[in-house]
Structure 1
Amino acid sequence: MSARTKARRRALNILFSADIRGDAISVALDAEAVRAANEPERAASWLYAREIVDGVIDHLDEIDELLTTHSRDWRIERMPAVDRAVLRLSTWELVYNDEIDVAVAIDEAVELVKDLSTDGSGAFVNGVLARIARAS
């Protein structure tokens, strides 16, 4: 598993845990930063995970607007929490990170939800992200 794939999983864990607990994302990020300081062997994945989460925090309103626009009748609060977290981190990669290829961002997102969410989540996430990519 590549460092970026691991970073995406770490970012997903931060976004998901904040959502489930009802905490601000920054609170979950700070808790993970403390944990990461004690895990120097995972430093490579931590740096990109932090970049993703900071990006989501900085652009959360715009990201949620894109998700609302392109999710076709799915309100963000109705989405499974894993799907919501993956869509937020992947939308940040698609729209705000020029270093990530569109196909890679979408494929990584789909793989995450296939492993961690509902049977229909892969197709749903793929469709939403593909529409965002076409519009960007």
Structure 2
Amino acid sequence: MSARSKARKRALDILYAADVRQVPVGDILEAEAQRAAGEPQRAASWLYARDIVDGVQDHRAEIDDLIAQHAQGWTLARMPAVDRAVLRIGVWELVYNDEVPSAVAIDEAVELAKELSTDESSGFVHGVLAAVGRAAAAG
């Protein structure tokens, strides 16, 4: 697994934990930063995970609006917490991170959904992110 794939998983863990436990993301991020300081072999994945979490938090309202616009028939509150976190990461990479090709952002999000969520989640995540990607490309 690449360092960026590991970073996405770490970011997902942070966003999911904050959502489910109803605590500020900053609290979870601080605890993870302390843990990462003691694990220098994971430094590369930690740095990108932090970029993702910070980016999602910085653009949370816009990201959630994009998800809501393209998740036909689904509200954010109705989605499983894992799917919300995966979609937020995917939208951040699609819209706010020019270093990640759209296809990679979508594929990585779909893989996380396949691994960690329901059987239907990977198709749902793919559909939402593909629609967001098309809208972003259209400008």
Query: Under a length normalisation based on structure 2, what TM-score does the superposition of the two structures give?
Result: 0.96
Structure 2: gaps of 5 or more residues: none
Percent of pairs with identical residues: 65
Query: What is the number of equivalent residue pairs in this alignment?
Result: 136
1:95 aligns with 2:95: yes
1:40-63 deviation per Cα after TM superposition (whole angstroms, max 9, x unaligned): 110000000000000001000000
Q: 1:21 and 1:104 mapped to 2: Cα distance?
A: 30
Corresponding residue for residue 114 of structure 1: 114
Corresponding residue for residue 84 of structure 1: 84
C-alpha root-mean-square deviation of aligned residues, in Å?
A: 0.5
Check whether the contact 1:26–1:57 (CA below 8 A) recurs between aligned residues.
Answer: no
Corresponding residue for residue 45 of structure 2: 45
1:28 aligns with 2:28: yes
Structure 1: gaps of 5 or more residues: none
Q: 1:61 and 1:96 mapped to 2: Cα distance?
A: 13
Q: 1:134 deviation in Å?
A: 0.4
Corresponding residue for residue 71 of structure 2: 71
| Equivalent residue letter for 1:106 | I
Q: 2:70 and 2:25 mapped to 1: Cα distance?
A: 23
Q: 2:91 and 2:44 mapped to 1: Cα distance?
A: 22
| Equivalent residue letter for 2:59 | H
Q: 2:29 and 2:77 mapped to 1: Cα distance?
A: 21
Q: 1:30 deviation in Å?
A: 1.1
Q: 1:25 deviation in Å?
A: 1.3
Q: 2:30 and 2:75 mapped to 1: Cα distance?
A: 28
Which 4+ stretches in 1 moved above 4 angstroms? none
